[in-house]
Amino acid sequence: MCPTQFFFISLLLLFIINSSRADNTTPFGYCPSSFCDNGLNISYPFWRLDNYHSTSPQYCGYPGFGINCSQLNSILYISDDSFNVTKIDYNNLSLTLVDIDGVDHRGCPRVHHNLTLDDDFPLEYSKLDLYLNFYYNCTVSLPDSADRLDCLTSRGNYSYFYVGDHEPEDLKWYGICEKKVVVPVMEGGLMRGVGAAIGEGFVLDWQIAKECGKCEASEGRCGYDNSKHESLCFCNDGTIKFDTCESQSTQFLTHLHD
């Protein structure tokens, strides 16, 4: 073989090797980036819940971080409640969420549930959030700086909210109001009104998931096998291990097949 032929064959081989990885922005074949129809970039540690089929029950990403892209929505489910993800910032590890039924068709804040972040779920409130305390269906008026929501007045019942720590410390609402709901909003959004603030959402920060620490420390990416109920570690050489990509690991599982 003459040197030019060798050169072109090498170039061709290089091209084939590269193009087999070209669908991904990273060498992790099992951890592709993709976009929802609304343009949201879904990348590790998030993954596409709507691409995930029961025939291939494993995914790459944090458990609970699956996002359902459908029509123009990108929904993250947190303890059975639906939140539309409007932004993911992969640099400072934060995401912006909007409660899917937080405001009614008139833009009136009518929040149905508290957001509950379990201790072992790696999401936390951001410093950018402040809290609104809503009190719905109160039969007498609430004291001090409570703001009344005139859009929810019904036959002598009123609903109120307090901004963050403006609420009196020993407020006795039980027996006076039907329901209290605590809602995070971005501090900046409140200038545009309380309905607008809820529509703009709030920010959560994410941390390294506890079960993923060893995997990520070995430069792998963490995932899960739902049928075997075990966590997985996707390594950039194409192998899948249990918890770490470190070569001395004997927990070799399987090779990546296309």
Distance CA 140, CA 220 (A): 57
- DSSP state letter for 207: -
- Among residues 43, 58, 226, 236, which is the contact residue for ligand NAG, using CB under 6 A? 43
Amino acid identity of residue 155, one-letter, is R
Query: What is the smallest separation between the CB atom of 179 and ligand NAG, expressed in angstroms?
Result: 5
* Spatial CA neighbour of 102 closest among 130, 147, 71, 134: 134
- Among residues 24, 33, 218, 226, which is the contact residue for ligand NAG, using CB under 6 A? 33
Query: What is the smallest separation between the CB atom of 117 and ligand NAG, expressed in angstroms?
Result: 12
- Among residues 31, 49, 95, 97, which is the contact residue for ligand NAG, using CB under 6 A? 49
Question: Per-residue DSSP letters for 155-184?
Answer: TTBEEEEEEGGGS-TT---BTTBSEEEEEE
* Spatial CA neighbour of 144 closest among 157, 130, 133, 131: 133
Q: 189 or 243, CB closer to ligand NAG?
A: 189
Query: What is the smallest separation between the CB atom of 147 and ligand NAG, expressed in angstroms?
Result: 14
Q: 121 or 134, CB closer to ligand NAG?
A: 134
Chain positions 116 to 155 lying near ligand NAG, rule: CB under 6 A, are 126, 128, 136-137, 139, 152, 154-155
Distance CA 141, CA 97 (A): 31
Structure tokens, 98:
């909007």
Distance CA 101, CA 78 (A): 14
* Spatial CA neighbour of 143 closest among 111, 110, 169: 169
Name the residue whose CB lies closest to ligand NAG.
90
**Interaction between residue 96 and ligand NAG (CB under 6 A):** no
**Interaction between residue 231 and ligand NAG (CB under 6 A):** no
Query: What is the smallest separation between the CB atom of 176 and ligand NAG, expressed in angstroms?
Result: 7
**Interaction between residue 207 and ligand NAG (CB under 6 A):** no
Q: 148 or 179, CB closer to ligand NAG?
A: 179
Structure tokens, 205:
């920060």
* Spatial CA neighbour of 83 closest among 70, 73, 94: 73
Q: Are 198 and 211 in contact (CB under 8 A)?
A: no
* Spatial CA neighbour of 134 closest among 98, 100, 171: 171
**Interaction between residue 34 and ligand NAG (CB under 6 A):** no
Query: What is the smallest separation between the CB atom of 29 and ligand NAG, expressed in angstroms?
Result: 15
Scanning 64-72, 117-125, 163-171, 227-235 for contacts with ligand NAG by CB under 6 A, the matching segment is 64-72
Distance CA 178, CA 136 (A): 6
- Which residues bind to ligand NAG, rule: CB under 6 A? 25, 33, 38, 41, 43, 49-50, 68, 70, 72-73, 84, 86, 89-92, 94, 100, 113-114, 126, 128, 136-137, 139, 152, 154-155, 157, 159, 177-182, 203
